[in-house]
Amino acid sequence: MEYSIGDVSSLLNVSRDMIRYYEKQGAIKASRNTSNNYRYYDSMEVFWLLEAMQHKSWGIPISEISDIRKKEYSYNTELFLRQESVRMREESIYKKMLSERLEELRRYMLLGMRNLGNFWVDQSEAQYRTHFVRGIGDEYERLGIAPDSSRCLLSERCMPFFDNGMTTGEGYIDWELTIRKKYADYLIESLPESFYLLPEEISICTVVDIGEIGHFDSGSFEVLREYARSRGYRILQDSPIRGTLLGRGYEEGKFHRIVKLSLPIC
């Protein structure tokens, strides 16, 4: 039985250009009608095309389909399917992590400003941190991050998962880029030495607004230490107050910088 390209297009619900592309890649072969020289496809070629379309849906490149058929069909097909299965499992894990991360960020946007001035006890997850810049108020030294840290943390794969963090010192703030250990362990094959690990901590937490640029005073963070002492919490010796930037932007015409603060207690 002979089928024109139009017949095949209608039968399999694909465009003529796609059929021609499969033919160009060697997945199928057209014949010529001797009476009118029109190309046609016999039943077997339609079967081949249908199979090739399915192979493509499994992740096998169209350009590879012809060679797979001609040599070690079962072995090569199994190899491609195994590789695609592994890739899809890894992609599924990544998308699940990304979904959880986006949900967390959504909650930041929803609850950040609503928690201004509130205090609570929380357990933080282990995280890696790397230095970005030191500042006094809103005056900063030169920005700097180790090249290997920048390459891994600011890659397309890791970009959704880092936070802007800070650690207080005597009159200064060290701004840092941070990433949860659970994310880093999966996403980063070898973490650069410029990162340090901050383990899980039980902390007293609050949210503050450090306000317009130029108005930031790190002394305002001490409200967290004062609250902890007033409630009888024992503060770990020499523990700095740490922060995570939840967001910055305008709300009702006023600029806000919302920071979640934490102070380890025991």
pLDDT of residue 140: 93
As a whole number of angstroms, the distance between CA 6 and CA 46 comes to 12
pLDDT tens sequence across 113-150: 999 999 999 999 999 999 999 999 999 999 999 898 99
* Cβ atoms of residues 166 and 221 within 8 Å: no
CATH 3.10.20.30 fits 112-264, yes or no: no
Which residues of the chain form CATH 1.10.1660.10?
2-71
pLDDT of residue 53: 95
pLDDT of residue 199: 95
pLDDT of residue 37: 72
pLDDT of residue 42: 93
pLDDT tens sequence across 12-32: 999 999 999 999 999 999 998
Q: Is the pLDDT of residue 216 over 90?
A: no
* Cβ atoms of residues 78 and 224 within 8 Å: no
pLDDT tens sequence across 223-254: 999 999 999 999 977 789 999 999 999 988 99
pLDDT class of 220 with cuts at 50, 70, 90 = confident
Extract the tokens encoding 78: 């199994």
pLDDT tens sequence across 168-184: 988 899 999 999 999 99
Residue of higher predicted confidence among 219 and 153: 153
Which residues of the chain form CATH 3.20.80.10?
112-264
As a whole number of angstroms, the distance between CA 191 and CA 163 comes to 16
Q: Is the pLDDT of residue 97 over 80?
A: yes
Other beta carbons within 10 angstroms of residue 238's beta carbon come to 5
- Total residue length of the chain: 266
* pLDDT above 90 as % of the chain: 75
pLDDT of residue 116: 93
Name residue 34's beta-bridge partners.
Answer: none
pLDDT of residue 200: 95
pLDDT tens sequence across 195-215: 999 999 999 999 999 999 988
As a whole number of angstroms, the distance between CA 74 and CA 10 comes to 31
13: left (phi over 0), alpha (psi -120 to 50) or beta: left
pLDDT class of 38 with cuts at 50, 70, 90 = confident
pLDDT of residue 224: 93
Q: Which CATH number applies to 2-71: 3.40.50.2000, 3.40.50.620, 1.10.1660.10, 3.40.47.10?
A: 1.10.1660.10
What is the average pLDDT across 54-70?
Answer: 89
